[in-house]
Chain A
């Protein structure tokens, strides 16, 4: 039997009840906007002499571009001294190219003369993520272009080129020092003082919420202009280095949108919890003198749902919950605390012997403890320490997963959550536009603030219900009065009758379930300028709609949706039904939640969103 134990200190809710998403506007960071350059006289000028300090080292540039530019030498990035020393990236000879000039000479590169190239085009009128890497770790500079995370071409200078390019003057984005203006929409310029690897480039592309890819130190980010302010003539530097750009003529446009930036806003994770009653230990069995007092204290999520587990004097005093049977690698976890430093163990049962973790010592603060083991499993429990002693601990949020590490917490009621639930993972790294580090757990509480044009997508995967499978769509949305329909989240698509399953509000602000003909008009108004918790469930034959924990409609319906992208914030098939409101904590279950589960989910979020 392989057993590992870990103890972590991860406050679930470090800000207590002070975590209203209304106070944290992510739209400024991920508004889906970009700057459009007219190709005549638009540009951004950035910084002052030597502000990047690239020196003799390697460096990388990353940006988004949408352009049909066809003229050679129309410039995207110019960071050169008047002597010509520096770097130039532009359109040349049919594609993306450029030149690196040092005292040893000029190394010009383009796709037609590249050492190795892969088909693809930056200038095709679609959004692309472009990364240019200059690897100067050897005397022969190697330059590489990546488009949408994939290698586009690379070239190697056959001549030695080792001297500095540190004496660049201002950087220009969109022109070559006020000439050769490019006709393009551009967004999110980043400069790193390191050569990004192919994996790091792919990491940036696939996880665009990451400001800095995994494996790169934050200090390597020398410049980051999100260019998503939406107004004004300053493009703020999010690297924290204060090299803000001055916008000259360029115009804000919408549409970086999905699938580039907006997918990043809600990064999805999957979670399971195969044990029921994860927060209701009074529904668990007791053994050897133990007892449970329900709802005695404030839980990590701010609700008074944590229980007190009172141990008896025996060494096997515990509470336990049946799992069933099965052999696998499991990880169990629980939040626990006590004012007495009381110890406890995970005590599970494989049908023959006990499976015990090491002893954990609780403190007066909530901590999440976890225990990974590989064994057959019959039931799980929480016990006093080996030698047994009376005392009590506060407990909340038990989770059992078939996994080798602890995952995102999934609440359960009477039904175990055996199939993965899509959960918003939230952002885990990065800084805001003023350079302030954003604390992970704060970011997780943020809402997706929509602007009437932006939206999010979750690409289809096996966690999304299809056909007539049972399902639940759940979200909090901030009601905003509009003259047209607003779609908050949906599965399926518009391909035919009952092929779509979507939470909407229609112009009268009535909560509405769209199913392509099989619609449900709940007749219940969404609250305007307030957060609404809406859940719609479907068990294959009946659809139920809940608002703020209360059932508002039951209708006989059978939806048979195709497996397709989940759209959040607009109609999947058309750029319509967009929302100006905000959406938080969207979840998709592959089964119909019970009324009790819906109520508990509402209760867990209501103080965050409604302060009630």
Chain B
């Protein structure tokens, strides 16, 4: 699966939840009684970290990038313009300097990562 955008999230914020209005990545966790019946059901709205772990097979794992002394994680995801999901992501970066919650295209994400990673050989 290929997402339509990428976003750089400060690594320090990875425990924070993704925007509440983006529910497509929510999942349900059930608990069961001894008879195998659903006892309780809980909808999980993931943090950035949980999103990255769960959806890595589909979108790829988050990429760690260090700018200066600060670490950022670049996440790939699909977000809807029509349902204002993109707006919710963009608004995370309001008033903040790049690369804090900066939304990228694939090409921009590649350039951002390349500019801040050193080759090993």
Which residues of A does B touch, CB under 8 Å? 36, 38-43, 71-73, 84, 88, 99, 101, 106, 108, 176, 178-181, 183, 233, 246-251
Contact = CB atoms under 8 A, between A and B. Distances in A.
B39 to A, nearest CB: 31
B75 to A, nearest CB: 8
Contacts of B106: 38-40
A246 B106 CA distance: 22
Interface stretch (B11-19, B22-30, B40-48, B110-118): B110-118
Interface residues of B, number: 22
A249 B56 contact: yes
A250 B74 CA distance: 16
B121 A88 contact: yes
Contacts of A38: 2, 60, 76, 106
B86 to A, nearest CB: 18
Main secondary structure of the interface of B (DSSP, over half): mixed
B57 interface: yes
B90 interface: no
Contact of B74 (A40, A73, A84, A233): A40
B1, B59, B60, B76: which has the most chain A beta carbons within 10 Å? B60
A384 to B, nearest CB: 70
B119 A251 contact: no
B61 interface: yes
B60 A248 contact: yes
Contact of B6 (A40, A73, A101): A40
Given A73-B119, A73-B121, A41 B57 contact: no
Contact of B61 (A72, A88, A178): A178
Interface of B: 1-2, 6, 56-63, 74, 76, 106, 109-110, 113-114, 117, 119-121
12 contacts: A40-B60, A40-B109, A40-B113, A41-B61, A84-B120, A99-B121, A178-B63, A180-B117, A180-B119, A181-B63, A249-B56, A249-B61
**What 8 A-B pairs come out closest when comparing CB atoms?**
A249-B60, A41-B60, A73-B119, A233-B57, A42-B60, A99-B121, A40-B109, A39-B110
Given A40-B74, A41-B60, A233-B57, 14 more contacts: A40-B63, A40-B109, A40-B110, A72-B119, A84-B121, A88-B120, A88-B121, A179-B120, A181-B63, A181-B113, A248-B57, A248-B60, A248-B61, A249-B60
Contacts of A183: 110
Contacts of A84: 120-121
Contacts of A108: 121
Given A38-B60, A248-B56, A179 B76 contact: no
Contacts of A176: 119-120
